[in-house]
Structure 1
Amino acid sequence: MSIKQTICPRCGKPSEEGLCGPCRLHEIEWVTVEPRVKTIMCSTCGSRKVGSTWSDCPVDREVLGRSLVIDGIRFHPDIKDPAVEMEIRELSSNRSQAYITLSGECYGIPKTGKYKTLIIWGKEQCDRCCRISGSYYEGIIQVRADGRRPTEWENRRSAEIAYQAEDDAQQGGDRLSFISSLDVSKDGVDIVVSSLGFGQSIVNYLSSYFGAKSTSHPKLMGEKEGRKLYRVTWSIRLPRIVRGDIIERAGSYCQVTGSDGTTLRTRDLISSSPRSFREDETVRVIGNIRDAEQAMVTHREGLTLGILDPKTSIPLEIAAPKGCLTQAGGAVSIFRDGDMIIVVGY
């Protein structure tokens, strides 16, 4: 023993300073393990409750169980290179048993130990599922068309936009923004929403996408903790004429390229030149470009196209619009107005 070495006052063995490693280790608890850990999950959607707050749980049960057990393990600050090995066995739907092997080094002495932790899976219905099961709602969005019935495409697109808004809200962490119900009929779409802010966001999306006008009609439903509670009905009116419509005005056929609610921006289907004019009752809507048919071109002579009628296979000759370079063997998009056939795409 060198002169710089000291004696452990407890066991008499050599020690660099004060108590030796084994005696110091005897004075501390190198690791503590919670014998039971608990979490509360929604039995309907699998969300997790932490404190008083619910949140979506993106991991599976085993990964969450391992995280809960690890959170219940406390190594002493002097432990070096701590390691955890774990096996989880399912006991029942609300009980799991974790078998843990812990190891590390403390004061130059390797330590290892085996422990068990019981995982308790509590079950409750979360705030969102409670509202859904109770048919809770704060607003109704009614999508209708001005002077006509919405097309099947408009109804389908309205529903898609609403559900996309719901996905965006959920991914943004707004658990209480959801669609309570969505009904599609020949008159339009009715969207029942869980919150006023969420409802307004859907109204904004739909109004912007379709260039539609909207109005809101709040109704006082009562008070809660001194705060007035309202339910709102939004009315969205899709414009009579929308982008892509094929219209006839004063004997000319045009395709609508845009609208601000009062002025139509169009493309003449014969001259291909842009035209703008105010929407009025003299404009006749024939249909929409989405419903165009494809016709094979059999021959071409100057500005005259020979086509096969896609319905009857009868050869026809129609006017080629300016800029149309389609030759025999190609195809053009056509639209019918009674006996008149107009080229709308090439």
Structure 2
Amino acid sequence: MKNRSVCPKCGGPSSLGLCDRCRLEDALLLKTPEAVEVTVCPVCGSHLLRGRWQKADEPLEDLISDAVAGEIATHQDLEDPEVEISVSRKNPTHYLVSVAVRGRFGGLLAEEEKVVAATVRRTTCDRCSRMAGNYYEAIVQVRGSSGPPASFELEESRKIAEARTDLCLERGDRHSFIQETKEVKGGIDLVVGSTQQGRSIARAIQDRFGGSSQESYKLVGMRDGKKVYRTSILIRLPRLKVGDLIMAGGSFLEVRGFEGRRVATTSLRDGRIIYLSEEDSEDVVVAGNRSTAEKGVVVAEDRDVLEVLDPESYRTVSASRPGSLKAGVGEEVEFLRFQGEIILLPPGRGEKVS
């Protein structure tokens, strides 16, 4: 007769050593901390995680749940463990977290539950502290080359600054914020929390409008034995804007963009790309900008000329047809007025060339 193995604790059958039931009685299925602490900023809601402030887009209860979940462990022999965490509030700073685990232990269903105390500590984060203390590292100065920038350029610069600030913050620059936007003679000053943020804003404004930039530095004190500098970034927007219709060398050109110190234009006559140097662009005549273009209906056409109904005088006006403008009778075209004439515009970059 074969010998049967028995559990040395209860005497029941067992394949080897303690049976599953006795092993389960002695096993610690769930290991949790006695208490956790979550630190949040009462101003912006950011939370402190492993010594670094991070933006929080989730409710406080979820932060507490995540903090507990990061410190629990289950028994190595518990198969297919399912963990449930629920958070209940006792008062504004104290919470109770119930943690339950279920699974299979050997051939038995097993479960265990524990309660963890959670404390919420509210401390103003480094970013909000700097904002409240009027701290800043850089000033982005937006100016014109031959006079104050246009109002739409200043408004667009503000929007660019806000978008780049959000992007820098998302990429981990916790000191990225706009402390103040000041209207000054000749433009605006964007007072920002981070030099890196200021440079990002300056590059984005230049990408949009072209122009030049220059940095200067000023020693403002010492911190932790190191010299602290404040950066001023001067951006001079170019005289010409994207969409400007200009006359150069007896031809009409439309400004399409900027490449370094060059102005990229296209010829209305044949669509050729023509680059102007910074010096040459200072001498051209500006007829207007596409953003202020009017619209009229074509009433007659031939290869080189279109007859357009002037919406102001209701008279038919003849105008040279740009090389890429294929509009026919009954279609609308865009034009600018210049020295008593109308100048037809080719399709814009977002328009279809038919």
By the TM > 0.5 criterion, same fold? yes
Q: Who is 1:336 aligned against?
A: 337
% identical equivalent positions: 31
Q: Which moved more, 1:126-135 or 1:257-266?
A: 257-266
Q: Who is 2:149 aligned against?
A: 150
Long gaps (5+) in structure 2: 348-354
Counterpart Cα distance in 2 of 1:73 and 1:255: 65
Cα separation, partners in 2 of 1:296 and 1:133, compared to 1, 3 Å:
same
Q: Who is 2:205 aligned against?
A: 206
Contact 1:100 1:115 in 2 (8 A): yes
Tell me how far 1:258 sits from its aligned partner. Answer: 4.6
Q: Who is 2:286 aligned against?
A: 285
Contact 1:91 1:97 in 2 (8 A): yes
Cα separation, partners in 2 of 1:187 and 1:10, compared to 1, 3 Å:
same
Q: Who is 2:38 aligned against?
A: 39
Contact 1:242 1:259 in 2 (8 A): no
Cα separation, partners in 2 of 1:95 and 1:327, compared to 1, 3 Å:
same
Where in structure 2 are the equivalents of 1:248-259 lying within 5 Å? 248-249=247-248, 251-259=250-258
Counterpart Cα distance in 2 of 1:6 and 1:275: 94
Cα separation, partners in 2 of 1:34 and 1:286, compared to 1, 3 Å:
same
Counterpart Cα distance in 2 of 1:87 and 1:208: 50
Counterpart Cα distance in 2 of 1:59 and 1:28: 35
Cα separation, partners in 2 of 1:142 and 1:117, compared to 1, 3 Å:
same
Tell me how far 1:246 sits from its aligned partner. Answer: 1.4
Where in structure 2 are the equivalents of 1:87-126 lying within 5 Å? 87-126=86-125
User: Is 2:286 the counterpart of 1:305?
Assistant: no
Counterpart Cα distance in 2 of 1:272 and 1:39: 63
SS in structure 2 opposite 1:169? helix
Counterpart Cα distance in 2 of 1:50 and 1:334: 58
Contact 1:155 1:184 in 2 (8 A): no
Tell me how far 1:237 sits from its aligned partner. Answer: 0.7
Q: Which moved more, 1:216-225 or 1:317-326?
A: 317-326
Q: Who is 2:296 aligned against?
A: 295
Counterpart Cα distance in 2 of 1:276 and 1:101: 70
Counterpart Cα distance in 2 of 1:312 and 1:251: 28
SS in structure 2 opposite 1:6? coil
Cα separation, partners in 2 of 1:227 and 1:49, compared to 1, 3 Å:
same
Counterpart Cα distance in 1 of 2:276 and 2:269: 17
Q: Per-residue displacement from partner, 1:86-115 (whole Å, max 9, x unpaired)? A: 443333333333344433343544433443
Contact 1:139 1:234 in 2 (8 A): yes
SS in structure 2 opposite 1:345? coil
Q: Which moved more, 1:258-267 or 1:196-205?
A: 258-267
The aligned amino acid for 2:37 is: K
Q: Who is 1:57 aligned against?
A: 56
Q: Per-residue displacement from partner, 1:56-88 (whole Å, max 9, x unpaired)? A: 224333433333333444333233333334443
- Give TM-score scaled by structure 2 length: 0.83
Counterpart Cα distance in 2 of 1:65 and 1:144: 48
Where in structure 2 are the equivalents of 1:78-93 lying within 5 Å? 78-93=77-92
SS in structure 1 opposite 2:345? strand
Cα separation, partners in 2 of 1:105 and 1:251, compared to 1, 3 Å:
closer
Counterpart Cα distance in 1 of 2:294 and 2:123: 56
Contact 1:150 1:186 in 2 (8 A): no
Q: Per-residue displacement from partner, 1:196-245 (whole Å, max 9, x unpaired)? A: 22222222232333221111110001122221110011111111123322
Where in structure 2 are the equivalents of 1:315-330 lying within 5 Å? 315-330=316-331
The aligned amino acid for 1:337 is: F
Measured on the aligned residues, the alpha-carbon RMSD in Å equals: 3.0
Contact 2:266 2:274 in 1 (8 A): yes
The aligned amino acid for 2:331 is: G
Counterpart Cα distance in 2 of 1:181 and 1:294: 40
Q: Who is 2:352 aligned against?
A: none
The aligned amino acid for 1:177 is: S
Counterpart Cα distance in 1 of 2:29 and 2:150: 72
Cα separation, partners in 2 of 1:324 and 1:29, compared to 1, 3 Å:
closer
Q: Who is 1:30 aligned against?
A: 29
Cα separation, partners in 2 of 1:92 and 1:137, compared to 1, 3 Å:
same
The aligned amino acid for 1:41 is: V
